[in-house]
Amino acid sequence: MINILVTGANGQLGSEINALKQIYSDYNFHFTDSKELDITNHEGVDQFIKTNKISVIINCAAHTAVDKAENEIELSTKLNHLAVGNFGNIAKVNNIKLIHISTDYVFDGTNYIPYSEKQNTNPQSVYGNTKLAGEQALQKINPKNSIIIRTSWVYSSFGNNFVKTMLRLAKERKELGVIVDQIGTPTYARDLAKVILEIIPKINNKNVEVYHFSNKGISSWYDFAKAIFDIKEIKIKLNAIETSQYPTAAKRPFYSVLNKNKIENTFQIEIPNWRDSLKECLQKL
């Protein structure tokens, strides 16, 4: 039996892992959020790991409120940076596999081809900066059998996300403006959860490895919204607007499509197209 700690258990990814747990009879899960486990407390986490004989950590916990993070630098630093270093040290000492979830926001969005893991990072927000600092802390500690998975535009049938926001707004309004000049790929959290659980036995690396995962295909937020309404057969007037017309506290990458070749080839996985996964999610909703 493999004992697995999942942090950020009430978030989208943590919830999807929880929903899949019955499929994996060889895994014994411990799901925690901030109430059960303070991930910034080294002694507390270390004790939890030893008491429950944890052999795999899946760190889904983060401060993901991108705009709020601009004014909550200390909290972002604790959760997105320092806690990751904490897990890295514990993983190294206790010989534990560690899967840490990161973000496309570590890039500046000036690319025109999908970002590979080797390309230079240049975050433009507090969220992106603290997530990158977490990656760097883990890489400096360098526990074996640890990986970083960067993902993008995550949505799910759980939690708050773009899909649910669009469905709610469609009930309240007859017309919506959605940004058309930010390009990326929607990621169904369930697809990422499946991949994480499938690759756990296959993780075998001396140095920290970085992987990219999102669904296949490319989309703007406008395309994403249109697909939601088309699939659900919701009639609403959708207007394409530019980022300049919808200012936010945090700067978003204009282009953050991720190259998934490395994770596909290393672990021999197949990644669904974002439209197919969106249909699956909307069926659950």
Q: List the catalytic residues.
A: 127
Neighbour tally for 237: CB within 10 Å: 9
* Cβ atoms < 10 Å from Cβ of 105: 28
Q: In sequence order, what are the beta bridge partners of 149?
A: 101, 211
Determine the 3-state secondary structure of 179 from DSSP.
strand
State the DSSP code for 258: B
What is the DSSP secondary structure assignment for residue 11, as one 8-state letter? S
Q: CA 131 → CA 16, 82, 235, 240, 262, distances in Å?
A: 22, 10, 38, 30, 21
CB atoms within 10 A of CB 112: 7
